[in-house]
Structure 1
Amino acid sequence: MFNDNQRTMQKPIPTNFGPRTTATEALGGQDLTGKVAIVTGGYSGLGLEVTRVLVKAGAKVIVPVRTPEKARIAVESIPGVELVSLDLMVPESIDVFAQRFLDSNRPLDILINAAAIMATPLTRDSRGNESQFATNHLGHFRLTARLWPALKKAEQARIVSVTSRIGKLHQIDLEDPNFEKTDYEKWMAYARSKLASSLFSVEMDKRGKAHGVRAFTVHPGTIITDLARSLSDDELRVMGALNEKGERALPYFNDEFKTIEEGAATIVWCAVNRQLDGMGGLYCENNDIAEVVAEDSNPFEAGVYQRTIDPVLAEKLWELSEKLIDLQFAI
């Protein structure tokens, strides 16, 4: 199932970083002057911290926005951020956004697919795709496909997709990805969408590396952000994310629970750090490449399952994604 090169690469390297590393530290001292980045979700939570760090390092950052006023307020202290309308649930919106960027004739050095929705009630996009799968995976798949000419133009571009360990809990049903035949379960839907993010990076890297475009998947850790807006206090209490005052907060007693600055670190590391030069198609966490672990191990502990980075499943999902969005990703 896995070739020798893939087995060799998906293992930790000596990064000198760890779970408490911040996004600024994960830059590795990189000067990003002249680099162009697009960060979906870049005006909230982890994405906002990524935007701040990349801009401070000299990059030009474009942030797609679904709620312009909220975005404007969020980034007003970050100079030079370019806000452009985009709704990942609406194919036409994605196409307009991408074409506007292509018309600027700029290369795209960094694409960070961080926007997401989590554990939402069942809704569907205009094509009938379940909303979490549509937003977290299919929307980013279409966006990346439309931006491909700019990524290739950069010659050494990186694509970073944000996933979650919950993706280890379920398998994608290629015969019923949108819960048309089976009962909808919001956490299963979220897990499937995040597994799809990981598999996308595997196939994206395989197809893109000949053009200098490398792809990575990041599990950032567990952080309380606006992503949890659909969860009730009872659900958060069960997760241990509600303190004795009834506030939404996490106990930082292990390497999984992180601050926003720490949670954004592995995203930034994968996007720009030179330690990953010449590498790709990798699942990363805690500012390192994740170790492959047995599939009967605790899914909420560090490590990645082989099926989460299965190249055969990744190729099948890629082909299914093209059909679901009615668009061939031409590379």
Structure 2
Amino acid sequence: MTTPQKPVLSPFSAASTATEVMAGVNLAGHLAVVTGGYSGLGLVTARSLARAGAQVIVPARDPDRARKALAGEEGVSVHGMDLIDADSIQAFSAQVVGRGQPLSLLINCAGVMAAPLARDVDGHESQFAINHLGHFRLVCGLWPALVAARAARVVAVSSRGHQIAGVDFDDIDFIHRPYDKWAAYGQSKTANALFAMGLDQRGSGQGVRAFSLHPGQILTDLGRHLSSAEIAAFDVFDEHGQQKVAPEVGLKNLEQGAATGLWCATSPALNGKGGVYCEDCNIAPVNDAETGRKGVASWAANPEFAERLWSISEEWTGMSL
């Protein structure tokens, strides 16, 4: 049954923190994988899951950096993996599945934003290749372990940036149109939301539910490709050079930013639900009023687009569930 893209009763809000969302959550005996789990939102997410008792695996393009960031965290292990490298994703997935342990949670935090034009070895634009195709490959590779959990959740960290652009199915890779780093980012974030819809449609019958979300506007290493002028335009700093925290308008700290993803991963309010885009620890409404608004654009909550994207992803990766 399709889950309505409408808010549910939730005790949490835009200001809620990871600590508040995870209070009383017991993940002992559960295995989780967190991409990007060694910086920014991913680091808070990995730590929160581990402190709730989960065994957490963090795949990392830079394992040494990841191990330094996660030093001292019990229950967390780091393994090499690069989301733009299909072979490394396959090797990592085989390693996890080979453990013979069900995978209860997969939280996809890793990504790039507004990067200069680059392509993977198959010629696909890098933001789409990393943010979407890499995670698509990962889910396909980990599928046996997810199904084995019988009640797994896959969480795709999208962004309000999806409102910039839908998926241009006629020219995803910017072959015929001029490259625009923000359009490419928006397209990849729309793909994250559509991916969750497509995955939930396929996985719900086997106990695998999927969600996407906007974490909030938080300046992290994700903004490494931005100029000082571009960062200033976001108006995220106060007069003292400190990041503003005003969750009611989307400006959050890391603890608040990680809360919605953790809510998607663990909340009993979402039992029996899936395929929806969430925000501020709740299911977001559909809203096409203007860019930068709260809510999900209709093009990122369209089941026909989700199916079209799924078919393309299978064709381009040569993988399926």
Aligned residue for 1:254? Answer: 248
Tell me, yes or no, if structure 1 residue 80 matches structure 2 residue 75: yes
| SS of equivalent residue, structure 2 residue 313 | helix
Q: Residues 119-158 of structure 1: matches in 2 within 5 Å?
A: 119-158=114-153
Aligned residue for 2:304? Answer: 312
- Code of the aligned partner of 1:133: F
Structure 2 gaps of 5+ residues are none
Contact 2:17 2:256 in 1 (8 A): yes
Cα distance in structure 2, aligned partners of 1:77 and 1:241: 31
Aligned residue for 1:173? Answer: 168
Structure 1 residues 59 and 234 mapped into 2: Cα distance closer, same or farther (>3 Å)?
A: same
Aligned residue for 1:283? Answer: 277
Cα distance in structure 1, aligned partners of 2:66 and 2:100: 25
- Deviation per CA, 1:167-220: give whole Å up to 9, x if none: 122121112111111110001000000000000000100000000000000110
The Cα shift of 1:47 comes to 0.4
- Code of the aligned partner of 1:171: G
Cα distance in structure 2, aligned partners of 1:162 and 1:121: 21
Structure 1 gaps of 5+ residues are none
Aligned residue for 1:163? Answer: 158
Tell me, yes or no, if structure 1 residue 234 matches structure 2 residue 226: no
The Cα shift of 1:243 comes to 4.2
Contact 1:28 1:273 in 2 (8 A): no
The Cα shift of 1:30 comes to 1.4
Moved beyond 2 Å, runs of 4+: 241-245, 247-255
Tell me, yes or no, if structure 1 residue 27 matches structure 2 residue 22: yes
Cα distance in structure 2, aligned partners of 1:90 and 1:192: 20
Please report the RMSD computed on the Cα atoms of aligned residues, expressed in angstroms.
Answer: 1.4
Identical pairs, percent: 45
Contact 1:20 1:255 in 2 (8 A): no
How many residue pairs end up in the alignment?
321
The Cα shift of 1:164 comes to 0.7
- Code of the aligned partner of 1:230: H
- Deviation per CA, 1:237-273: give whole Å up to 9, x if none: 111134445x473353733000100000000000011
| SS of equivalent residue, structure 1 residue 230 | coil
Cα distance in structure 2, aligned partners of 1:251 and 1:285: 16
- Deviation per CA, 1:17-39: give whole Å up to 9, x if none: 10110112112521100010000
- Deviation per CA, 1:113-144: give whole Å up to 9, x if none: 11001001001111111110000000000000
Tell me, yes or no, if structure 1 residue 192 matches structure 2 residue 184: no
- Deviation per CA, 1:82-137: give whole Å up to 9, x if none: 10000000000000000011111111000001100100100111111111000000
Cα distance in structure 2, aligned partners of 1:306 and 1:232: 31
Cα distance in structure 2, aligned partners of 1:148 and 1:251: 38
Structure 1 residues 311 and 23 mapped into 2: Cα distance closer, same or farther (>3 Å)?
A: same
Aligned residue for 1:12? Answer: 7
Cα distance in structure 1, aligned partners of 2:247 and 2:213: 21
Contact 2:164 2:182 in 1 (8 A): no
